[in-house]
């Protein structure tokens, strides 16, 4: 019996009820941070099912496996039935498995991750004899991915190519695509593009899914790229029932193709759309919410909203300044230790940073205090060498045309097939237009191989035949038999054996869970899931460790206490992001960096700690650092300044820029905007006639004068020498 409407809407705010109970047509839900968007989506699905919509007529799409699993679990708890909930890439992979032959592909295609794609690109560059100084593998792959995000194939790129460099990238793009076809493989971008191709070339397939999916729901719509937007628009083309949920203030993925325009221009793309804004925040304390809201309001390209909470203000946001990144790390570790001793679980505390390199000083400090922690952004489980090796064998069973898998395992473990023998096999395969595995099967036709190498290749051929004959009804059993057959553990060195055995056991344990969750999924489904798992999907909140992760990885999570380290100019906002022309303008880049900071801040429930250092060591270089302009945007009444290390003289480079202003501007008044309104207090907001508003970081007496160090929001940190008559109020 379907749940009653009263039960589905119980406990919802009026705005949430409006979104949940919306009828037919396009709906945009602008959901502020912590406003219960997952609850709205799941309750809307429950409302649809309770109103008579069949479960098979609903599809919900999100961006991580964790989010999809959570959404699916909540729907089942509400209505006792499940609906199709998946990531965009998983949804597209499913469609392509069903209809690959309509695109001239075999159903057993392999999904290449970035590492696989990078190896293909390296071979393409070598084969085309492109100059590696101009056409690095990273540059070529980024070029290909950028144009796939724009739904542009090699031929479209060729039409707009200008000069030698563009032509070289187009040649590489064309050759890369040819290699993928030869290997019956698709990369992540292809999963989206090939579905668009399928819908374009096979209108009957599109009509089938338009008929089936009466309601399409898309989570995190601000993170959709152009292909994802076009897929969503195509699916709702008959019934026009699309529910998009998102927050423009949390769009942080321009670098991977996300288009904020998809959400900002939603009403233009879906005429007649209703917009519902969720403004009540259930997550953060009052101080955290005020601080984060004040910061994000400096962005211009957004949908204005006023988040509010019934929760108390709670503890103020702690802002710490430290002599260097290692002092910063030690302070963070001590604070975390105190929180854990006070009863906060390690898994309810998180450390965020802009770049992975920033984690080292904090890791060092945590190790010194024996604090449990997990670096989420380190090598993921499915990127570990033993897992890569074993899944490559599995891929080769499903798809013998997968050259990348074959190259990885043909001599793993070592069986006497050296690099020169592999090159000769590939040279024999190329003129025939066959795969490397086909050349292995026809090893007798390969010239130049020694008798010993020919015997070793023959042994690999027999091994592949035996593996292909293994029963795949249980993935855990299949992996166990495969590991035994290739003698994977036996051929490891004594130093590697223990770690390798542990990783293999973990993989078999994962396979057992897969067998229980998807008993009909089989080998192909297992490989698909392994290929599409993300770093954050591998983090276990119950593991009893403090997660370390980048701000990008923190999206969608929440913790009792959050530490954001390295809140400094050129780090957050990051200089590379500001110099990147992908955003169009520096102002747009700054806005995205501010959104990233906002996302990090709004992950915190009760406590938020922001830290910066006067010097930072990255990649072996120690440089002077200035507080981020974003810190100056925080309201003074929500921030408490702490200085956990004694002041130390900053390197001369830190003052080089400031000294000019000490001399030039000593007669220009500084106006105090808040604080107690009467004195140059640390943390007070001030205004300068040339540099605008800022926040006082420190003051130092020089007789009747003061040296005032100010972080100006738009100009960075500067020092001013001021007399008593040169300070104004208001």
Active-site amino acid positions:
37-38, 219-220, 250, 603
- CA 506 – CA 508 distance, rounded (Å): 5
Burial class (CB in 10 A: 0-12, 13-18, 19+), 138: exposed
Encoded tokens for 446: 């390969």
Q: How far apart are CA 704 and CA 713, in angstroms?
A: 27
Ordered DSSP codes for 187-254: EHHHHHHHHHHHHHH-HHHHHHHHHH-SEEEESSGGG--HHHHHHHHHHTTTT--EEEEE-GGG---G
What count of other Cβ atoms lies within 10 Å of the Cβ of residue 128?
14
| Residue 340 contacts residue 561 (beta carbons within 8 Å) | no
What secondary structure does DSSP assign to 61-112, as a single string? EES-HHHHHHHHHHHHHHHS---EEEEHHHHHHHHHHHHGGGGT--TT-EEE
**How far, in Å, CA of 550 to CA of 593, rounded?**
13
SS3 labels along 654-682: HHHHHHHHHHHCCCCCEEECCCCCCCCCC
Q: What is the DSSP letter of 284?
A: S
Rounded Cα distance between 157 and 239, Å, is: 35
Q: How many CB atoms lie within 10 A of CB 127?
A: 12
618 SS3 class = strand
C-alpha closest to that of 596 among 276, 255, 333: 255
Quote the CA–CA distance of 96 and 186 in Å, as a whole number.
10
Give the Cα separation of 217 and 232 in Å (integer). 9
Q: Exposed e or buried b for every residue in 426-435, given b needs 16+ CB within 10 A?
A: bebbeeeeeb
Angstrom distances, CA of residue 64 to CA of 58, 91, 355: 19, 12, 21
Structure tokens at 221: 């719509």
Give kind and range of the element (H or E) at residue 50. Answer: helix 37-50
Residue 598 C-beta-side C-alpha neighbours within 13 Å? 26
In three-state secondary structure terms, 315 is coil
Q: What is the CA radius of gyration of the chain?
A: 29
**Residue 657 CA to chain centroid, in angstroms?**
36
């Amino acid at each position: 019996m379907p749940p009653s409407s009263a039960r589905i809407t119980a406990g919802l705010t009026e705005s949430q009820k409006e979104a949940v109970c919306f009828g037919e047509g396009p709906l945009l839900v602008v959901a502020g941070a912590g406003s219960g968007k997952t609850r709205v989506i799941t309750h809307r699905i429950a409302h649809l099912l309770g109103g008579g919509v069949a479960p098979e007529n609903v599809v919900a799409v999100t961006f991580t496996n964790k989010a999809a699993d959570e959404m699916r679990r909540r729907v089942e708890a509400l209505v006792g039935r499940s609906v199709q909930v998946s990531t965009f890439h998983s949804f597209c992979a499913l469609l392509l498995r069903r209809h690959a032959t309509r695109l001239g592909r075999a159903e057993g295609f392999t999904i290449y991750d970035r590492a696989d794609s990078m190896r293909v690109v390296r071979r393409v560059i070598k084969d085309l004899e492109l100059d590696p100084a101009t056409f690095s593998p990273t540059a070529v792959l980024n070029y290909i991915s950028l144009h796939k995000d724009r739904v542009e194939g090699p031929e479209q790129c060729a039409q707009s190519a200008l000069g030698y460099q563009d032509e070289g990238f187009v040649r590489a793009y064309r050759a890369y695509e040819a290699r993928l076809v030869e290997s019956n493989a698709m990369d992540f971008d292809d999963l989206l593009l090939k579905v668009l191709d399928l819908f374009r070339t096979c209108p009957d397939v599109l009509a089938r899914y338009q008929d089936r999916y009466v309601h399409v729901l898309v989570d995190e719509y601000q993170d959709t790229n152009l292909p994802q937007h076009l897929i969503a628009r195509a699916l709702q083309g008959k019934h026009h029932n699309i529910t998009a949920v998102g927050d423009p203030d949390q769009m942080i993925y321009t670098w991977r193709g996300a288009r904020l325009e998809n959400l900002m221009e939603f009403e233009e793309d879906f005429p007649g759309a209703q917009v519902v804004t969720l403004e009540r925040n259930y997550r953060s304390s009052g101080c955290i919410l005020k601080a984060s809201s004040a910061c994000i309001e400096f962005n211009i390209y957004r949908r204005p909203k006023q988040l509010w909470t019934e929760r108390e203000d709670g503890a103020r946001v702690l802002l710490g300044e430290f002599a260097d990144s290692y002092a910063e790390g030690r302070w963070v570790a001590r604070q975390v230790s105190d929180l854990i001793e006070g009863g906060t679980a390690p898994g309810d505390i998180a450390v965020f940073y802009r770049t992975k390199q920033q984690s080292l000083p904090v890791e060092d400090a945590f190790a010194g205090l024996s604090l449990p922690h997990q670096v989420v952004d380190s090598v993921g489980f499915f990127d570990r060498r033993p897992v890569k090796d074993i899944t490559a064998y599995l891929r080769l069973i499903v798809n013998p045309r997968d050259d990348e898998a074959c190259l990885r395992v043909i001599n793993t473990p070592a069986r006497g097939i050296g690099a020169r023998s592999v090159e000769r096999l590939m040279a024999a395969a190329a003129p025939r237009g066959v795969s490397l595995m086909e050349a292995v099967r026809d090893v007798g036709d390969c010239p130049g191989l020694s008798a010993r190498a020919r015997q070793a290749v023959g042994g690999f051929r027999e091994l592949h035949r035996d593996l292909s004959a293994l029963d795949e009804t249980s993935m855990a059993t299949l992996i166990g038999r495969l590991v035994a057959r290739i003698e994977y553990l036996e051929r490891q060195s004594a130093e590697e054996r223990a770690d390798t055995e542990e990783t293999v056991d973990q993989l078999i344990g994962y396979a057992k869970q897969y067998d229980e969750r998807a008993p009909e999924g089989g080998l192909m489904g297992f490989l698909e899931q392994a290929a599409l798992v993300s770093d954050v999907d591998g983090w276990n909140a119950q593991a009893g460790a403090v997660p370390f992760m980048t701000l990008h990885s923190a999206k969608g999570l929440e913790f009792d206490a959050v530490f954001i380290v390295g809140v400094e100019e050129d780090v957050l906002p990051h200089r590379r992001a500001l110099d990147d022309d992908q955003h169009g303008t520096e102002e747009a880049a700054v806005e995205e960096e501010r959104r990233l900071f906002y996302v990090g801040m709004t992950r915190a429930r009760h406590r938020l700690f922001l830290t910066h250092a006067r010097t930072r060591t990255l990649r072996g270089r120690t440089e002077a650092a200035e507080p981020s302009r974003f810190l100056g945007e925080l309201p003074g009444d929500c921030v408490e300044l702490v200085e956990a290390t004694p002041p130390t003289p900053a390197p001369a480079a830190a003052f080089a820029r400031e000294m000019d202003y000490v001399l030039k501007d000593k007669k220009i008044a500084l106006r105090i905007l808040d604080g107690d309104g009467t004195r140059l207090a640390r943390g007070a907001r001030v205004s300068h006639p040339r540099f605008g508003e800022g926040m006082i970081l420190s003051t130092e007496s020089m007789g009747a004068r003061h040296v005032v160090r100010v972080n100006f929001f738009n100009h960075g940190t500067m020092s001013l020498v001021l007399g008593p008559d040169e300070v104004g109020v208001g």
